[in-house]
Structure 1
Amino acid sequence: MSSLIALLWFSLLTGCLATASTYPESEFDLRARDPDTDLTTPELIAKYGYPVESHTVQTEDGYILTLHRIPYGKKSSSRTNRPPVLVQHGLLSSSVDWIVMGPEKGLGYILADAGYDVWLGNARGNTWSKKHITLSPSQSKFWQFSWHEMGVYDLPAVIDYILERTGEEKLFYIGHSMGTTMFYVMASEKPEYNNKIRAMFSLAPVAYMSHAGTPFLKALAFAGDQIGWFTNLMGLNEFLPHTELLTIMGQMLCRDEAITQDICNNVFFLINGGYNSKELDSAMIPVILGHTPAGAATKNFLHYAQSIKTKKFRQYNYGWLKNLAVYGSTTPPKYDMSKITAPIALMYGMNDDLGAPGDVATLNKELPNVISYYKVADEQFGHLDFLWAIHGKSLLYNEILNLMAKY
């Protein structure tokens, strides 16, 4: 499957190079790329004058995760009475997504300046969390996880670490896309963790998927359960890890001067649930592609595809024989949403192919403690606008800050 996306990029690249002779040489000059393209998450945070720390957390099943922390901001530099907030990225993403747009637009900076102790998570398998105490990413066994394991192992380990480190009893949680799915898994499978959450903010929530699905995920769902067998057979364990080639292609094909920018945008957002072109600063796409995609286990996509096919929010379907061994039944169990008692704000966009409004409405009915059911005012607000919208602060982030102040 990663070869599919690679093929799309390659086709775009070859088409661009084929016509390069008719355009100024400077249009394909890679030397002028934005320096932020090549900086790591900690380097970006430090560049813009914010304090930054890196922490490692080991999960119960041996994965080693990296956390990036902004302990205080520039506009609010007090180091006491700063409530911790864990901000968790979505699929194919990383901690950088919350700061790549810069201090005035990145939620990580905005939270720090508003007086919060900001912890940016990195789920297993992405650029920053590719280590295990015994396994190597070159081994297939390393990649045998989906967002279920992230919810059962990653989030509890990270939450416990943050609370121990800060001496607090509770924290705020902000998740985007898969970051919300992980939370719903944790709070239903390990309900004791509901008591460690002051309030949870679901940005582009993804659980039920009766109305959701990008063309890519719908194709996986249509392929059925045999696609999992095929990917295992072919050793397709990791999906779209970040490479320098993607950075170069993003710089060449997606910057403002590039004749292929519009096509590039569509390819980039093919599997990511849509965006509002008016809210996307196209000049930032090469910088974003310097960091994103950050890689993920193929099993994450297969698990979502199962949700689309079955229209149920439940654990991974291994097939009836293995299901019997793992679950004691031929079908995987559903997640019990009634156990999710933490205060939850559901925040959705009308132009979101993954966190579809109809599915968010189902969540609103299922969750027992919804404190806000917030539709972003811009009717064209899409899945990735929750991260990178030009007016994200006025459309969304200010609402989050207002709610946080009440808890």
Structure 2
Amino acid sequence: MYDYIHIQTGQKLYYVGNSLGTLLALAAFSQEKLVNMTKSAALLGPIAYLGQLSSVFARTIVTTFLAEKAYWLGVSEFIPEGLVVGKILEGVCVLSLIDCNNVISALGGPNCCKMPSTIDVLFDHTFQSTSTKNIVHLSQMVRAGNIAEYDYGDENENMAHYGQPTPPMYYMTRIPKDIPLFLAYGGKDTLSDVNVVQLLLENLKDHVKDKLVVQYRDYYAHFDFIMAENANRVLYDPLLAFLMTP
């Protein structure tokens, strides 16, 4: 998609990513991919060092190997509303620390500023399916505490795909220091945990100062970035100002 838009327009792209979309960009930038096609990038609720996340819901999926179990059952598409995945997630929702009556907060933290009508619209469009392999990959990074390519669980398989027995790592310190970045994170976010973002920022400490804008909202949780009623004022206005900077 990046290549197509770049070729069709002949212009560099403005990239805005949320949640998993931030991890995709960070991984690409760390390998200096897409950088020459990117004018600037905004990362909302950035996901990086998943080993630091504090979401009990997400950690339960990881520690009980639920994604792997679905994969072993031959479920190639992870459909949250699908029968098999639904049955697996039922096992998560019976735990005392997890209130699945409010799955948004259970997954990403207590939202500050949502409206009932916004929640209805959100559920009309989410949660979208993804490959089960993708969920397995995310689970691997949570357990390992690193950012790496998919681990096939077999040295020979990894050798066949990567030419080495272990998956290659993505090093955030290799992100070019002059690419303009806008990072917005929240104090109540349990997926893009404050500790996750601080570790990412530590890796970006040598970034060119006027090329890195950081916005912190202490009352924002993970889904506030896309559905808070005040997001247009406290988040999107600064974001647009960043994108319009020459």
1:396 to 222, 225, 235: 235
Give the Å deviation of 1:279.
Answer: 0.3
SS of equivalent residue, structure 2 residue 42: strand
Alpha-carbon displacement from aligned partner over 1:121-156 (angstroms, at most 9, x marks no partner): xxxxxxxxxxxxxxxxxxxxxxxxxxxxxxxxxxxx
The answer to whether 1:175 aligns with 2:175 is no
1:321-340 alignment, distance < 5 Å:
321=155, 322-340=157-175
- Return the offset for 1:373: 2.0
The answer to whether the Cα contact below 8 Å between 2:48 and 2:147 also exists between their aligned partners in 1 is yes
Q: 1:239 aligns with which of 78, 82, 85?
A: 78
Tell whether 2:145 aligns with 1:311. yes
Cα 1:274–1:240 change in 2 (3 A) is farther
Q: CA deviation at 1:280?
A: 0.6
Q: Which consecutive residues of structure 2, in runs of 5 or more, have no partner in the other structure?
A: 83-98
The residue type paired with residue 270 of structure 1 is A
Distance 2:100 2:120 in 1: 10
From the superposition, tell whether residues 298 and 161 of structure 1 become closer, same or farther in structure 2 (CA, over 3 Å): same
Measure the CA separation in 1 of the matches of 2:71 and 2:33: 35
1:213 deviation in Å?
Answer: 4.4
Contact 2:71 2:132 in 1 (8 A): no
Question: For each residue in 1:356-384, what CA deviation from the matched residue of structure 2 results, as whole angstroms up to 9, or x when unmatched?
Answer: 111111111213535112212xx220001
Residue 114 (structure 2) aligned to one of 274, 277, 280: 280
- Cα displacement (A) at 1:192: 4.5
**Number of residue-to-residue matches in the alignment:** 223
- Residue 363 of structure 1 is matched in structure 2 by 200
Q: TM-score, normalised by structure 2?
A: 0.81
| Counterpart secondary structure, 2:34 | helix
Matched, 1:162 2:5: yes
For residue 348 of structure 1, give the secondary structure of its aligned residue in structure 2.
strand
Larger Rg: 1
Query: Identity across aligned pairs (percent)?
Result: 30
Taking the TM superposition and a 5 Å limit, the aligned residue runs for 1:51-62 are none
Of the three residues 128, 140, 145, the one matched with 1:294 is 128
Q: TM-score, normalised by structure 1?
A: 0.51
Residue type at the aligned position of 1:287: V
1:195 and 2:36 matched: yes
Map 1:60-209 onto structure 2 (within 5 A): 158-168=1-11, 170-189=12-31, 191-209=32-50
Deviation at 1:404, TM superposition (A): 1.5
Aligned mates of 1:338, 1:284 — CA distance in 2:
37
**1:275 Cα deviation after fit:** 3.9
Q: 1:336 to 1:264 in 2, by over 3 A?
A: closer
1:180 Cα deviation after fit: 0.4
Matched with 2:57 is: 216
> Residue 269 of structure 1: CA displacement?
4.2
* Secondary structure, counterpart of 2:215 in structure 1: strand
Residues 118, 227 of structure 2: 8 Å contact kept: no
8 Å Cα contact 1:348/1:360 also seen in 2? yes
- Alpha-carbon distance change, 346 to 333 in structure 1, aligned in 2, over 3 angstroms: same
Q: Distance in 2 between matches of 1:192 and 1:233?
A: 33
Alpha-carbon distance change, 265 to 397 in structure 1, aligned in 2, over 3 angstroms = farther
Specify the SS of the correspondent of 1:313.
coil
Taking a change above 3 Å as real, the CA distance of residues 275 and 164 of structure 1, as seen in their structure-2 partners, is farther
Structure 1, unmatched stretches of 5+, are 1-157, 244-262
C-alpha RMSD of matched pairs (Å):
2.3
CA contact (8 A) 2:104 2:223 kept: no
Moved segments of 4+, more than 6 Å:
none
